[in-house]
């Protein structure tokens, strides 16, 4: 079996600045872009890179499955704190948060199931 996608090799993955300059990013939310690495249908798991512009916010949402975030560059914050490069955040099913990035950041993210945004 062959794939129509070329392998993605990033030799210095923990350098999010390198990643940010070389990928075809797609808009996700205002000030946040996504580069999808793998997604299993509309309701399955999803691996991606997210790039936040300075001041970007992802509104309050909850997780029906696990969410795992590895901060590659910059800083990301939620109600529990601010996380810099190398920080690993694991949000269990049933947790919720709003995410901001005052200075901008690049993160590697895994969603076990799609997040659900809370009503305003």
pLDDT tens by residue, 21-72: 778 999 999 999 999 998 998 889 999 999 999 999 999 999 999 999 999 9
Residue 68 has phi, psi (to 5 degrees) of: -125, 130
Q: pTM of the full predicted structure?
A: 0.88
In a 10 Å sphere around its CB, with 0-12 CB exposed, 13-18 middle and 19+ buried, how is residue 51 labelled? buried
Any idea how long the chain is? Answer: 120
Indicate the DSSP class of residue 22. Answer: S
Complete domains list, the chain, with CATH = 16-117 (2.60.120.10)
DSSP code at position 19: H
């Amino acid at each position: 079996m062959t794939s129509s996608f070329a392998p993605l090799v990033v030799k210095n993955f923990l350098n999010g600045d390198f990643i940010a300059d070389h990928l075809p990013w797609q808009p996700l939310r205002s000030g946040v872009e996504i580069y999808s690495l793998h997604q299993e249908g509309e309701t399955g798991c999803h691996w991606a890179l997210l790039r936040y512009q300075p001041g970007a916010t992802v509104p309050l949402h909850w997780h029906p499955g696990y969410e795992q975030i590895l901060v590659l560059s910059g800083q990301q914050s939620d109600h529990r704190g601010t996380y810099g490069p190398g920080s690993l955040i694991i949000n269990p099913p049933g947790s919720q948060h709003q995410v901001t990035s005052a200075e901008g950041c690049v993160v590697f993210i895994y969603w076990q199931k799609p997040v659900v945004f809370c009503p305003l």
